[in-house]
Amino acid sequence: MDPVRAAIVLFLALPLAAQSLDTCRASFDGAQLVIANSHFQRTWRLDGPALRPISFLDLSTQTQWLAPPSASPAPPSRRFTLKTTRTRLSPVEAESLLVELSSLAPSHLTYRFQLFPAARGVSVTVQSTPSSAASTEAANVSGIEQERKAPAPDPLAAAFEALPLAPRHILLTQAELLDQTDAHNQLAHERHWLLQTNESLRLPGVLFFAENPLTRNGLVFLQHAPLPHVRPVKTPADLLYDARAHRLALLDHGYTIVTLAYNGGEPGRIAALQSWQRQLRQYDPTRDGRFLSNTWGDRSRDARINDAFMRREIQAGARLGVDVIQIDDGWEQGRTANSASAAGKGPWTGFWAADPNFWNVDAVRFPHGLQPIVHLAAQSNMQFGLWFAPDSSNDFANWQRDAARLLQLHRTLGINYFKIDGVKATSPSSEQNLKSLFDRVHGESRGRVTFDLDVTAEVRPGYFGAPRPGPLFVENRYTDWHRYWPHQTLRNLWTLAHYVDPLRLRFEFLNVARNAAQYPGDPLAPALYTPASLFASVMIANPLGWFEISNLPPAYFQQLPPLVALWKQHRPRMHAARILPVGSAPDGTSWTGFVAVAEDGREAWAILFRELNPSPSWSLEIPFAAPSLRAEVLSGAGAASYEQGVLRARIDSQLGYLWVHLRP
């Protein structure tokens, strides 16, 4: 701040009494801001023009993460007011306490915190816009004078979430995530640093962990942003470590920043991160974790889409136990670049300009519209879903037309599930307009509409850029192109489950009777897996039947209906539990899987897989579970027992699975 202006600013702030939402509370006395719930307490103080963190106490372990301030604060140079609101920012999220600390001069600066009772930390979004006076003054000063008057700012010193760490020994982990899965298959890597006084760091990314190896307590740093390689405004770093000051800072690039405390090592970290995501999108057993089928997976594209074909799909889907029958590209009047009939000549954006009636229902393929087949699906207790590509042209300038069409399909036909594809969010304006589209549809549908956000290509919000709309459609994998192996899909689900809530992931299983000749002599060929094991490999997430159901061989209809029916019985409780990957990363030879443990630890489920591993038996500890539960095999060929927190499992054959229920 200019020192002359600083001298004339009122150094005042208005005290406000503590506010609460269940266990949440926030207070501001004019100099210090305190935000807390039953899990943590954080304190910031005014230091010159901005807030600086001075305390982060994990109440569950009484761990103080921040070192005491090394210097007295500068006199406050802003007047802040505090406003708290009990709210839901989206109909799909939990109720929260919204805390806004705002200053109007010398510029508009607002810190907006969101605090959930169940979360182990708080999010903050910093919004800053120059006042009219400040803008006028800046316009009257040349670039040379500005450079002479003020040196280039230190990004770490200016960062809001700059934490001087109290524990000396810290293992810093950078989670490098990749989407665009048409081109990437290794979707996550980790890099580790044992922080040292001679090594400062500048790291890109949206997700980092700082853990004390001596206590296994840690902090999660999360940014609700697209991944760095597709972010519209490129930034050289997202997290900085100042070795001399032993200080970590997550930089503010205009996105929401989240800092969470955890304990218990990796399982505790996964649970804390998963819990945060479930505050932003609460698990609804009537909406989430659905078994959805999609017509595109058998590579007919839109060539077979018509009324008669979809009636066969619905009849077959009812036999299989599908929750949602979805038509991919092909239900609409317009023809995209992916259409079998357009031969690549159709548009992949600019749909409204190409044809104002592009998103009408194709009257040739569906002469009676979609209503009769939607009704037919409902008679079998199934919902209907459609593919849709928002118009990316001109920064999603047509987002309101897209939202209106989606809401019309929802209101007139009862369509609650939309796969969102073709997104190219290449600018901050396009990001905001795309968010506005989702927000409007969510708001006006009261959260009933679920979006599957395709992350297979192009420029998309990614794993954490849009956490509320619905699950992420992670992969396009086909046997036609020799690109589908069940263990590789399981690997990607298992890997991402360390960071992304499995209820936010849509993963596929295929009709493996197709294209078996593409895998001659392959011991991991898709056709060697049973239909039941294929479904089991994705049932902890949102299962995707990536096939034409009416084209499935008899084995699918023999094996899947009883398994799917049993899964639906356990699904509400299993999906509501904490879901953890266990074992080794799937590579075709591992023992691997997932466990889901109820919040009180008195019920758990294990879905285990024996790949091409010579040992028929395996044992593992179940994190968070009560030590004395009884093991019951729900499905799969093998046996299981549970004693003193250790599950012992036997799977009789390679490439087999075992689904175990632990209960009192």
| Interval 268-297: pLDDT, tens | 999 999 999 999 999 999 999 999 999 999
Beta bridge partners of 606: 595, 660
Q: Mind listing the pLDDT tens digit for each residue in 197-239?
A: 999 999 999 999 999 999 999 999 999 999 999 999 999 999 9
User: What is the C-alpha to C-alpha distance for residues 116 and 136, in angstroms, rounded to an integer?
Assistant: 40
> What are the residues whose beta carbons fall under 8 Å from the beta carbon of 32, sequence distance 6 or more?
43, 44, 45, 46, 54
Hey, is 102 helix, strand or coil? Answer: strand
Contact assessment for residue 274 and residue 283, using Cβ atoms and an 8 Å cutoff:
no
Per-chain mean pLDDT for the chain: 92
Residue 178 DSSP one-character state: -
- 496-532: b (≥16 Cβ within 10 Å) or e: bbbbbbbbbbbbbbbbbbbbeebbeeeebbbebbbbb
Q: Which residue has the tokens 């997976």?
A: 297
Q: Percentage of residues in the chain with pLDDT exceeding 90?
A: 89
Work out the pLDDT band at 155, boundaries 50, 70, 90: low
Work out the pLDDT band at 128, boundaries 50, 70, 90: confident
E strand or H helix at 617, and its extent? strand 617-621
Indicate the burial class of 36 (C-beta count within 10 angstroms; 0-12, 13-18, 19 or more): buried
Beta-strand runs (E) in 462-554: 472-473, 505-509, 542-546
Which is nearest to 162 in space by CA: 281, 77, 87, 245?
Answer: 245
How many C-beta atoms lie closer than 10 Å to residue 20's C-beta?
A: 15
Which is nearest to 657 in space by CA: 616, 614, 608?
Answer: 608
Going from N- to C-terminal start, the domains of the chain cover 1-146, 153-263, 292-572
Contact assessment for residue 606 and residue 625, using Cβ atoms and an 8 Å cutoff:
no
Give the pLDDT confidence score for residue 154 in this predicted structure: 62
Higher pLDDT, 324 or 19: 324
Give the pLDDT confidence score for residue 142 in this predicted structure: 31
Give the pLDDT confidence score for residue 570 in this predicted structure: 98
- Helix, strand and coil content of the chain, in percent to the nearest 5, comes to 25, 30, 45
Of the CA atoms within 13 Å of residue 294, those in its CB half-sphere come to 29
State which CATH number among 3.20.20.70, 3.30.1490.190, 3.40.640.10, 3.40.50.1820 fits the domain covering 292-572: 3.20.20.70
Contact assessment for residue 556 and residue 647, using Cβ atoms and an 8 Å cutoff:
no
pLDDT at 133 over 60: no
Work out the pLDDT band at 82, boundaries 50, 70, 90: very high
- Given the DSSP bridges, would you call strands 417-420 and 450-454 parallel, antiparallel or unpaired? parallel
Higher pLDDT, 135 or 227: 227
Q: Mind listing the pLDDT tens digit for each residue in 478-523?
A: 999 999 999 999 999 999 999 999 999 999 999 999 999 999 999 9
pTM of the shown model: 0.94
User: What is the C-alpha to C-alpha distance for residues 13 and 240, in angstroms, rounded to an integer?
Assistant: 31
Q: Which of 153-157, 171-175, 191-195 has the lowest mean pLDDT?
A: 153-157
Greatest CA span in the chain, whole angstroms? Answer: 81
